Structure formats: structure tokens, C-alpha cells
A and B are shown apart, each in its own frame.
Chain A
Amino acid sequence: MKVRVALVGHVDHGKSTVIGRLLSDTGQAREDRREKVRSTCESVGRRFEYAFLLDALEEEQSQGITIDVTEVNWSHGGREIVFVDTPGHREFLKKMIGGASRVDAAILVVDALEGLKDTFRRQMHVLELLGVRQRIILLNKMDLAGWKEETWEARRREVFETQGLDPRTTPVIPVAAWHGENLLAPSDQMPWYRGPTLAQALSALEPARPEEEAPLRYFVQDVYRKEEQRIFVGRVEAGTLRQGQRIRFFPEGRETTVRSIEVHGEDRDEARCGDAIGITLEDALYLDRGALGFSPDSPPRLSREVQADLFWLDSEPVLPGDRLRIKAGTQFAEARVERIDSELDCETFAVQENPSKICSFGKVWLKFDSPWAFDAFSECPPSGRFVAMKGFRALGGGRWLAPTSDGPASMPRTLPGQVVWLTGLSGAGKSTIAAGLKLRLLGQGIAATVLDGDELRQGLCKDLGFSLVDRAENLRRAAEVARLMARAGLVVITASISPLREIRERAREIVGTDSFLEVFVDCPLERCEARDPKGLYERARRGLLSEFTGIDSPYEIPLKPDVTLKTDVQDPDSCVRDLLGAVLARRADLNRRETQA
């Protein structure tokens, strides 16, 4: 694979000259281009400018600068390299970031006489943010510095001291690019230098390793129809996708199996990182552009509030309350800048806590209107980074940080909430299912709680008895509390017998039918009585309890429950799995509705 290498550095320190000279010395500059440059330079009476082999725009040649990123292929000693030449001006930072965001390594070019500029430190910071870890530093124009070792030593020390770089992994090579010294062969002018030449340093670089070890992340681009099939086209951003594997999608939520991998004209049972493919699924899932596929055992994080390292390129700074459009893969949504934690001052490079704005670099909390799927950049770079837009302009980007406990809200808020109302006879298995569901939801980062009937009885409802009237009032209060908790973003699971249709209908009205899920935990009375986990049936039969549902008080079975779980034939785990599917499907509906609203 080709290694992509960005050239970055201050304007006029000789980035384009380095590449031009390499091309020229290895016979890889096209004759017609060389000829064009020769005549251009002659006509204006200047020396042959190797940089013009790259800087092809008229303005670039007349002003001697690089206006925009250029990509140039170069091969040497069996190594294939793509040089990405980037402009060095302050206002061109965004072009450098654009160019450097997809490289494996960077060459930083520094003028030996001028030394490190702020640009250098900014660019080092950007490379760090972008995750470009392989770096070569070229100390250029050593001819003008009299080929002196002291100059090299001093600059080298400056580099390592200010940047905290490791001298063993980051070579600082003294060169004179225009003269070709130390580029391909060791320089006779600088016999004191014993380190690698540029060509040697380049051959030690490694191409990017695709994120195959990372968990599967598959962003859906579009849905195509082929005959009766729906093909979800997209790209494997990380990990590996296999035919027959289990898969889940955010925000849809349900789990299914990959039926086939579709590549026109090819037979494929596996797709790797970077592959643009299509897939078909065993079950009919409602998926569209922006859906994120993952293996059920390694889901991405989900949250409405996410902390990020941000870089910002516009002249207008980022302010709290700004609305940004965030794009990661094909996932695209608006977010509000909730809080700015810190800013890096580009002049002094000091970190300022709680600043009022971000000009170039800083840490922010972004708040989305509905849950956002992401990974921390440190854990999975392809799904750990994003582009930030204002209107139709891409003005910045960044990487997600792993969640910490000091966010704007201490609870992971994954709105919207809902109420899962379990109804059924005593002993039907409501509490077991409620507890199981809560655990599964929490495991997916969805805040959930069980509204415990006994707890309500001991506090909020301790003035109530067990008559039908009091039981109705007890449930009305439970419904009100559930509604309030759901509004705060929780999935509230209630497990109460709630025997009467009228009571359950009232609860549905209180909560709102969109977020209310009536679940009939269905089990024949004989089975419940045989289980009798709390010994209540026995006490009722002995006349120690009155108005006990099923014995001397009616249970009206639900006519149209949202979910029915038959606990006499289904084991608790499979009940919980079914119920989880229904809760997630409802959640996806609510999400969609909220996003559209």
C-alpha cells in the first residue's frame, strides 16, 4: 500500500521545493512539466524553481506560494509514497487540516535560520489531534546557515524541549532542499550528521493499518431495491463484517442476521475495513441513511451529550449556545455547544479553563436533540471523529472523548423516555421480567428504572389501603410518577397487577399513548398459584387476605396489549429479549418523531 505523507510547515520554508527536488533527482518529474517550469523561470529571470513542479496555479508561481493542497506520487526503493503538499499560511490552516486529515505521516519543514514559528506548534497540535503519529522534521536551508552543526543542535533541542517529542522516533534532518543535500544521499557538506537521509526516513514509515481489530462499524449510505430485496449500501468503517453474523443498528435497535454481502459481479462472504458494499438482512428492519451497524456484543456509545476535542478554522469563534451541524460517517445531526471546558491559546499555547469562546482548539460539550452514536477516538478512530459545519460550510472537526463523570448532566441522558407497564396476576413473573429488562437496557447505556410498588406503598401512597378504590388511586399516582420520570429521559418499568382495564387505560392517558407500552405478562392462575413466590395465594385461600386478584377479585385481561409474554411457555430470558426488542423499536419511533419534529 502507498504511504501518504503530508508536508507541512511555515510559508516559504521550502515544502514544495523538497518534493520538486525529490521528483527531479529520481527522474520522476515529467519532461514537459520540467520544460514548462524552466521556461517560466527563465522568462522572469529566476533560478529553476523545483516548487513550480507542484505549484501549478498562476498565482502560486507569481507569488511563490502554495495556495492549495497538491497530491504527488513518488516511488523510491520499492516504496510508493503520495506526498500531500499543504499551504503554510495561517489562513490556510484549514487546507492543511484537510490535506493532513488523511495521511499516515507528516514531514514538518522548518527554516534553519528562522527556527520554530507559532505555525509549527499549531501544526504539531493539529497533527496530534488528527492522530498523525509518524513525523519527520526537516531543518531546511542549511546552506544559508553555513552548514553548521550548532544550528542543527540548537533547533533540535528546541523541537524536543517545546514539543516533548521522542528524539529516537522523530528524526530531525538537516537539509538544503534546493541543493538536494541529505535528501537522497548523505550530504558532503554536513559530514557531522550521522542520522538518516530523508529517503531513509521515508522508507521507515508505515502505511496506515486499517482498523480491522476494532469493533464493527458499518454506516448505511442508502437503501436500494433489487427485486424484492432491500440492499443497505454503506462502508465498513472499522472491523470486519461477515455473512451470517448477528448485527444491530442504531437507532433501529433490533437484532438480526446478515443474510448476504452484495458486491456487483462478485461473490463475497466477508467485507473488511474500507469496503464499500451492500448487505441484506434476515429480518425486515426499517433502516435509512445514517444508521450505524454494529455487532451486538460491542455496541457504540449512545448519548445526547458528548465531550469533544474541537478544532475550529473560521474567523468567527465558537461560542456557547452555537448550533453546529455534526457529521460522522453518514450520521448527521444538529448539536448545541452546551459548555466550553477549555481553550488552547494559539499565541502562548497555554490552556485556559472555562473560556468564553474557542478560536482554534478546545474542549467542548455538544448536546444533540436525540441520542448520538459514537466511539471515543482513542478506542476506534474511524467512528471517533467528526466534521463540524455551520450552515453549508465545514468549519471544523474533532474527536470524541471517552465519557467522564463530570459532564453537564451526571446521568447519561438518552431521551426520549417511556413507560413499560407490566400487568398480570401475582406470580406471573412481572418482577423478574422488569428486573431483567432494566439490566439489559442499562447494559446498552439506556437509563432505566423499575418503579417498585412496595416502595410507593411505603411512602407516596402510605395513606392508601387495598380496596379497589385505593388500589386505583395507588396506580394513578404510580402513573403520574412514571410520567414525570419518563419525561426526564428514563425508561420506567412498572410491575403491578393493575387488574382493571379502566385503570390501565387511565395510566395510558396520563403517560401519553406514544410512550406507553402495555405488557401483558400472561400466565394461567393455576401456574401462578403453584409458584406462589410470596405465599400470597395460600394466605388468600386461607382467608387471611381479602380482595386478592384471581381469588376473590377480578383480573380483566388486556384486550389489545402492546406486547404479550406467555411466561408459562417462554423462559424469562426469552421474554426479556422479546420485550427489549419492542422497547427499542418504540424508542426508535419516538426518536424519529422527535428528529422530524
Chain B
Amino acid sequence: MGKLQGEDAHLHALENESIYILRETYRTLPKPAILWSMGKDSSVMLWLARKAFFGRLPFPVVHIDTSYKIPEMIRFRDEKAREWGLDLRVSSNRAALADGMNPERGRLECCTALKTEALKSFLAEQGFRTIFAAIRRDEEGSRGKERVFSPRMTGSVWNYKEQPPEFWNGFQTEYPEDTEVRVHPILRWTELDIWLYIRKNRIPVLDLYFAREGRRYRSVGCAPCTGTIASQAGTLDEIIAELRTTKVGERSGRAQDQADRYAMQKLRAKGYM
């Protein structure tokens, strides 16, 4: 392999760091599971994990199903889970759904019940202590403050004022027994990095990201709370070109972010991804 330059060198460095983080975690932290929403970010994270462990994931893949996901996402999930031999586990907050929880009762309430609470109770039920989440610093403000290894207090609470320092290029992987740790292997990637990497490795992604009739999903979530953006980007090259010039925020189509000025901070402090 010759010396890599520019974009390739940059993606190569990001990939190396993510693989290092995945392997550090698997070796040193108890009971890991990886969160997959079928979105572009967690799909890249899954790809990196398969690469880190030579094609076979040594831990389960968890999808928190709010029941409001776009049907295409579920099809994609089941197809890839079969193809890649994933140990897929799907969980929902059935009690809240039976009780009729929906975004009209309040977007933050809905997110907390169907995502945060569903995740927390599922983790407790199955005994997972270490969760890989595909968040990125450039997505939104409060995620910009995250650590790669983010230990949580009781009840998955994020104490964002007292986070452990991360020195040099190493990470703290020693925690008291039973600490829940969120691990963020692609924290340093940008939205553009994600698409460049998808293009370079031909990683399968949802069709929803590609423009149809002048609109596309920039970020994919629950159907009621995720909108499309005006776009002509129908191919990977066009998406990358669009991202290089856009001034629109990635999560502008995500209604929960707009529900309150500090919505994501509030959601995330309670244990949201």
C-alpha cells in the first residue's frame, strides 16, 4: 500500500481510529451491544465493526423500534441482518405503545418513552452494560461535547459537566464494575466523511437518502417526526457535492430537535442516544 494522500488518508485515519475503539471496547468492557437504526451513521458503524472483527460481529445488534419507522427501513434491516449473519434483537416500549404514546402527546415525551425508555429497559432486561452508538460531534451541539467513552450514572444519565478527560490517542476503558458505558466509535466523523466512506466502500444504505421528485431524506428517523429536504441529489456523488456547499443543518428535518431550544441536551442527559 503506497502513501495515501488527502481525502483517502483522512478516511483511512478515521477508519483506523474507529476500529481501534471497537476493539478496545470489546476486550475491556463487559456485555457490549451495538445500536443500529438503519440510518447512514449506524450502518457505517456496523460496517466498521464487521471489519474490526474480521467479518463476524461478536456481539448482538439492537434496534429500538418505535413502531413509527418508515417501512422501507424495516425491510432493509431484515435483509441485511440475514445477509451479514447479525444477531439482531428488536425491542419496543410496548407498555407506552399500548397506552397510545405518539408525537402529538409531545415530541420530547414521545422520544423519551419510545426511544430512551425502550433502550434503557431493554438494556436492563438483557444485561447489556456497554452500548455502541453512532453519534457524531458535528450533528448537533450537545453531541459536540461528547466523549468517545462516555460512562453513565445510574439510569443512563449523562453527567456532561463532569466527563473524564481523554488524553493523547488512548481512551479510558477501566470503570467500576457495572458502570454503563456509551461508546461512540464514529464521534469524530462528519456527515461528509460518512458519505465519502460509503462511496469508497460501496456500503449499502437506504434508498430514502436519494432524491426522488426533488426531495430526499437527509437524516432518517420516525416517519411522523422526520421530514425531507428539497434536493436534486440522486446519487452518492450528488449527495457529496450537495454537502460540500449546503448551509442547511443535517437534522433540520428532525422535529424533536426543534421542540425546545435545548431539546437534544435535555433528551441526551436522560440517556437518549
Is A512 located at the chain interface by the 8 A CB criterion? no
Please report the C-alpha to C-alpha distance between residue A30 and residue B248 in the assembled complex, in whole angstroms: 6
Q: Which of B140, B142, B166, B252 has the most CB of A within 10 A?
A: B166
Is B200 located at the chain interface by the 8 A CB criterion? no
Partner of A57, one of B138, B142, B166, B175: B142
In angstroms, how far is the closest chain A Cβ from the Cβ of B172?
Answer: 5
Q: What are the residues of chain A within 8 A of B212 when measuring CB–CB?
A: none
Bitwise interface map of B from 21 to 65 toward A, beta carbon under 8 Å scored 1, else 0: 001101100000000000000000000001111110000000000
Q: What are the residues of chain B within 8 A of A222 when measuring CB–CB?
A: 23, 26-27
Partner of A387, one of B141, B167, B248: B167
Please report the C-alpha to C-alpha distance between residue A222 and residue B21 in the assembled complex, in whole angstroms: 12
Partner of A226, one of B50, B54, B142, B247: B54
Looking at A67-75, A139-147, A368-376, A502-510, the stretch in contact with chain B turns out to be A67-75
Q: What are the residues of chain B within 8 A of A329 when measuring CB–CB?
A: 170
Q: A30-B248, A327-B170 are in contact. Are A392 and B175 (CB under 8 A)?
A: yes
Task: Report whether B166 and A31 are in contact in the complex, using a CB–CB cutoff of 8 Å.
Answer: no
Bitwise interface map of A from 373 to 412 toward B, beta carbon under 8 Å scored 1, else 0: 0000000001001010100111001000000000000000
Bitwise interface map of B from 120 to 144 toward A, beta carbon under 8 Å scored 1, else 0: 0000000000000000011011101
Task: Report whether A68 and B145 are in contact in the complex, using a CB–CB cutoff of 8 Å.
Answer: yes
Please report the C-alpha to C-alpha distance between residue A31 and residue B9 in the assembled complex, in whole angstroms: 30
Is A534 located at the chain interface by the 8 A CB criterion? no
Q: A71-B188, A392-B175 are in contact. Are A30 and B247 (CB under 8 A)?
A: yes
Bitwise interface map of B from 72 to 113 toward A, beta carbon under 8 Å scored 1, else 0: 000000000000000000000000000000000000000000
Q: A40-B261, A224-B53 are in contact. Are A389 and B172 (CB under 8 A)?
A: yes
Q: What are the residues of chain A within 8 A of B188 when measuring CB–CB?
A: 71
Task: Report whether B176 and A1 are in contact in the complex, using a CB–CB cutoff of 8 Å.
Answer: no
Number of A interface residues in the complex (CB < 8 A): 63
Is B165 located at the chain interface by the 8 A CB criterion? yes
In angstroms, how far is the closest chain B Cβ from the Cβ of A298?
Answer: 21
A window 285-340: CB within 8 A of B: 289, 313, 325, 327-330, 332
Chain B residue nearest to A55 in the complex (CB)? B141
Partner of B27, one of A59, A71, A221: A221
The size bracket of the interface on B is: 35 or more
Q: What are the residues of chain A within 8 A of B248 when measuring CB–CB?
A: 30-32
Bitwise interface map of A from 69 to 99 toward B, beta carbon under 8 Å scored 1, else 0: 1111100000010000000000000110110
Q: What are the residues of chain A within 8 A of B252 when measuring CB–CB?
A: 32
In angstroms, how far is the closest chain A Cβ from the Cβ of B77?
Answer: 22
Q: What are the residues of chain B within 8 A of A276 when measuring CB–CB?
A: 16-17, 19-20, 23, 52
In angstroms, how far is the closest chain B Cβ from the Cβ of A245?
Answer: 15
Interface of B is mostly: loop
B window 177-200: CB within 8 A of A: 188, 190
Partner of B54, one of A1, A98, A235, A262: A262
Interface of A is mostly: mixed
Please report the C-alpha to C-alpha distance between residue A36 and residue B160 in the assembled complex, in whole angstroms: 21
Task: Report whether B262 and A58 are in contact in the complex, using a CB–CB cutoff of 8 Å.
Answer: yes
Please report the C-alpha to C-alpha distance between residue A67 and residue B10 in the assembled complex, in whole angstroms: 29
Q: What are the residues of chain B within 8 A of A330 when measuring CB–CB?
A: 24
Q: What are the residues of chain A within 8 A of B17 when measuring CB–CB?
A: 274, 276
Q: What are the residues of chain A within 8 A of B247 when measuring CB–CB?
A: 27, 29-31
Task: Report whether B54 and A70 are in contact in the complex, using a CB–CB cutoff of 8 Å.
Answer: no
Is A275 located at the chain interface by the 8 A CB criterion? yes
Q: What are the residues of chain B within 8 A of A98 when measuring CB–CB?
A: 165-167
Please report the C-alpha to C-alpha distance between residue A347 and residue B26 in the assembled complex, in whole angstroms: 44
Partner of B164, one of A80, A289, A394: A394
Q: What are the residues of chain A within 8 A of B145 when measuring CB–CB?
A: 56-57, 67-70
Please report the C-alpha to C-alpha distance between residue A235 and residue B248 in the assembled complex, in whole angstroms: 37
Chain B residue nearest to A391 in the complex (CB)? B176
In angstroms, how far is the closest chain A Cβ from the Cβ of B76?
Answer: 21
In angstroms, how far is the closest chain B Cβ from the Cβ of A5?
Answer: 15
Is A564 located at the chain interface by the 8 A CB criterion? no
Task: Report whether B141 and A73 are in contact in the complex, using a CB–CB cutoff of 8 Å.
Answer: no
Task: Report whether A313 and B165 are in contact in the complex, using a CB–CB cutoff of 8 Å.
Answer: yes
Q: What are the residues of chain A within 8 A of B142 when measuring CB–CB?
A: 56-57
Is A231 located at the chain interface by the 8 A CB criterion? yes
Chain A residue nearest to B2 in the complex (CB)? A270
Task: Report whether A56 and B167 are in contact in the complex, using a CB–CB cutoff of 8 Å.
Answer: no
Task: Report whether B54 and A221 are in contact in the complex, using a CB–CB cutoff of 8 Å.
Answer: no
Is A102 located at the chain interface by the 8 A CB criterion? yes
Please report the C-alpha to C-alpha distance between residue A2 and residue B6 in the assembled complex, in whole angstroms: 9
Is A541 located at the chain interface by the 8 A CB criterion? no
Please report the C-alpha to C-alpha distance between residue A387 and residue B13 in the assembled complex, in whole angstroms: 22
Q: A67-B160, A101-B168, A221-B24 are in contact. Are A389 and B141 (CB under 8 A)?
A: no
Task: Report whether B141 and A57 are in contact in the complex, using a CB–CB cutoff of 8 Å.
Answer: yes
Task: Report whether B163 and A264 are in contact in the complex, using a CB–CB cutoff of 8 Å.
Answer: no
Task: Report whether B137 and A1 are in contact in the complex, using a CB–CB cutoff of 8 Å.
Answer: no
Is A265 located at the chain interface by the 8 A CB criterion? yes
Partner of A397, one of B52, B160, B161, B168: B168
Task: Report whether B249 and A394 are in contact in the complex, using a CB–CB cutoff of 8 Å.
Answer: no
Q: What are the residues of chain B within 8 A of A56 when measuring CB–CB?
A: 140-142, 144-145, 265
Is B169 located at the chain interface by the 8 A CB criterion? yes
Task: Report whether A387 and B144 are in contact in the complex, using a CB–CB cutoff of 8 Å.
Answer: no
Is A579 located at the chain interface by the 8 A CB criterion? no
A window 247-305: CB within 8 A of B: 262-265, 268-270, 274-276, 278, 289
Task: Report whether A270 and B1 are in contact in the complex, using a CB–CB cutoff of 8 Å.
Answer: yes
Is B213 located at the chain interface by the 8 A CB criterion? no
Is A54 located at the chain interface by the 8 A CB criterion? yes
Please report the C-alpha to C-alpha distance between residue A70 and residue B139 in the assembled complex, in whole angstroms: 12
Task: Report whether A94 and B165 are in contact in the complex, using a CB–CB cutoff of 8 Å.
Answer: yes
Please report the C-alpha to C-alpha distance between residue A21 and residue B6 in the assembled complex, in whole angstroms: 27
In angstroms, how far is the closest chain A Cβ from the Cβ of B37?
Answer: 22
Is A33 located at the chain interface by the 8 A CB criterion? yes
Q: Which of B1, B168, B248, B261 has the most CB of A within 10 A?
A: B168
Q: Identify the 3 closest CB pairs spanning chains A and B, nearest first.
A: A56-B141, A98-B165, A32-B249
11 A-B pairs (CB sep. < 8 Å) = A32-B252, A57-B160, A58-B261, A70-B145, A95-B165, A221-B24, A264-B51, A264-B53, A264-B54, A392-B175, A397-B168
Interface residues of B (CB under 8 A from A): 1, 6, 9-10, 13, 16-17, 19-20, 23-24, 26-27, 50-55, 137-138, 140-142, 144-145, 160-161, 163-170, 172, 174-176, 188, 190, 247-249, 252, 261-262, 265
